[in-house]
Amino acid sequence: MEYHNNKEFALKMDKEDSLASYRYQFYFPKHTDGKESIYFCGNSLGLQPKTTKTYIEAVLDDWKYLGVKGHFEGENPFATYHEDLGKKMAAIVGAKHKEVVAMNSLTVNLHLMMVTFYRPEGERRKIVIEKNAFPSDQYAVKSQLEFHGYDPDETLIEVEPRKGEDLLRTEDITDLIAREGNEIALVLLSGLNYYTGQAYDMESITKAGHAMGCQVGFDLAHGAGNLKLSLHDWGVDFAVWCTYKYMNSGPGGIAGCFVHSDHIKRKDLPRFTGWWGNKKETRFLMDDTFDPIEGAEGWQMSNETVLSMAALKASLDIFDQVGMDKLIEKSRKLTGYLEFLIDGLRSDRIQVITPKDPEARGAQLSIRVLKSDKSLFEAISNKGVIADWREPDVIRIAPAPLYNSFTDVFRFVEILKELVR
């Protein structure tokens, strides 16, 4: 792809972009000057689709006019509302429908999956995570180790980049697993590191884990709706993700969970259960023995918050129209353009730490600011750019292919240019 550093080129790219019109299906927050902000925070909270309100109102109306009958009547009955979400998210993460369910929140799902898939036995009891993993993941994993009576200092392995490097090398992860695999019960990495923007080679890591008899799971908070994923074919044991980042379900939106079909009929795997995980045909017979649904739905506990699912559905219906292939094709061009323009600044105040290889990243570049100078972030914010600062020294810029344009990217780098000169 050949890029050019001028506004006409950015405009031309937008004109040729078959997804350009989707931008107008989202609300952009306004800056203090009354103009639309340049929004690059879809990796933290995706923008609101203009249809979200209608979807939520439809649920409110069913409740209003049908009352309890809304569970089984109306266009989208409450009791089965989640099924369409599972189907559409399965397409996004490369899974079979029955392997995916919308439920709870990310960290809750992570705990539920560890109940099932972290089964320490004998010498095999360690968990591998990334050093500096997202705090919620660290807390969750450490608390699980402690719950099983272990000291995290002895049972938690944190993989880290080599000295002087920012990114993890796949071979360092797979070598570690090959070396210490007999003591590892679970490998739990993010699919895409929230700080560096590095996407991991999930297929190789899964293979390495399974070769040593370990379970392998991924936290796809930044991967779902962003990366090309094939969870089923890669043989990943489980995965969890939130939907309020790239999937635009709104603050605290309902999360996603994947359980590989190899595991869904296993009776030997323990789980924390609730009535919503019981087979639908017998759920209301109020029997006292649990008979799980054969699928990720079997891990559901409660009847879910349908209002929150409605917000997710509004966005998933857009994803369904677009498809991940087209989305990723645009995403690579858009992030590639951002990288090209930043490189062109030749500034020694900033440095992109995200991998250059498009296969090893998604819609995010992490810009390290020299001397942890946060004033640069404050300055771009004052100019109407919505991005975020992650301690100690990174500005994250995420051009979301569903609603960001090449002109957004061009305008942002023009602002940056003035400031880093």
Ligand X SMILES: *Cc1c(COP(=O)(O)O)cnc(C)c1O
Under the rule (CB under 6 A), what is the footprint of ligand X? Answer: 105-107, 134, 136-137, 190, 194, 219, 221-222, 242
* Residues contacting 128, CB < 8 A, separation 6+: 157, 158, 159, 173, 176, 177, 184, 186, 187, 188, 189, 214
Shortest Å, Cβ 107 to ligand X: 3
Q: Residue 362's closest CA among 388, 400, 394? A: 400
Least Cβ distance, residue 231 to ligand X (angstroms): 16
Q: In angstroms, rounded to a whole number, what is the distance separating the alpha carbons of residues 394 and 184?
A: 32
Q: Smallest gap, in angstroms, from Cβ of residue 363 to ligand X?
A: 14
* Distance separating alpha carbons of residues 209 and 212, to the nearest angstrom: 5
Shortest CB 221 distance to ligand X, Å:
3
194 or 412, CB closer to ligand X?
194
Rg (CA), the chain: 22
- Per 3-state DSSP, what percentage of the chain is helix, strand, and coil (rounded to 5)? 45, 15, 40
Nearer Cβ to ligand X (141/293)? 141
Q: Among residues 180, 157, 154, which one has the least CA distance to residue 168?
A: 157
Residue (39 or 78) nearer to ligand X, CB: 39
User: Smallest distance, Å, CB 54 to ligand X?
Assistant: 25
| Closest of 260, 229, 232, 234 to residue 247, by C-alpha | 229
Give min distance, CB of 337 to ligand X, in A: 25
**The two three-digit tokens of residue 131, written as one number:** 């050093």
Q: How far is the CB of 155 from ligand X (least distance, A)?
A: 20
Minimum distance from residue 340 beta carbon to ligand X (Å): 27
**Residue 136 or 261 having the CB closest to ligand X:** 136
Contacts for 313 with CB less than 8 Å, ≥ 6 apart? 55, 76, 81, 84, 85
* CB nearer to ligand X: pick between 135 and 149: 135
- Closer CB to ligand X, residue 112 or residue 208? 112
d(Cα 338, Cα 333) in Å, to the nearest integer? 9
What does DSSP assign to residue 199? Answer: B
Minimum CB–partner distance for residue 313 and ligand X (Å):
18
Pair of tokens at residue 351: 């440095």
State how far the Cα of 98 lies from the Cα of 165, in Å rounded to an integer: 40
Among residues 174 and 226, whose Cβ is nearest to ligand X?
226
Residue 259's SS3 state is strand
Q: Residue 270: exposed, middle, or buried by beta-carbon count in 10 A (0-12, 13-18, 19+)? A: exposed
Q: Do residues 88 and 298 touch, judged by C-beta distance below 8 A? A: no
Nearer to ligand X, 134 or 319 (CB): 134
Kindly report the number of other CB atoms within 10 A of residue 333's CB atom: 20
* CB of 144 or CB of 190, closer to ligand X: 190
Residue type, 421: R
Min dist CB 270 to ligand X, Å, is 22
Q: Nearest distance from residue 87's CB to ligand X, in Å?
A: 22
Which C-beta is closer to ligand X: that of 193 or that of 405? 193
Could you please report the per-residue DSSP string of 344-375? HH--SSEEE-S-SSGGGB-S-EEEEEGGG-TH
- Other beta carbons within 10 angstroms of residue 213's beta carbon come to 11
Nearer to ligand X, 39 or 194 (CB): 194
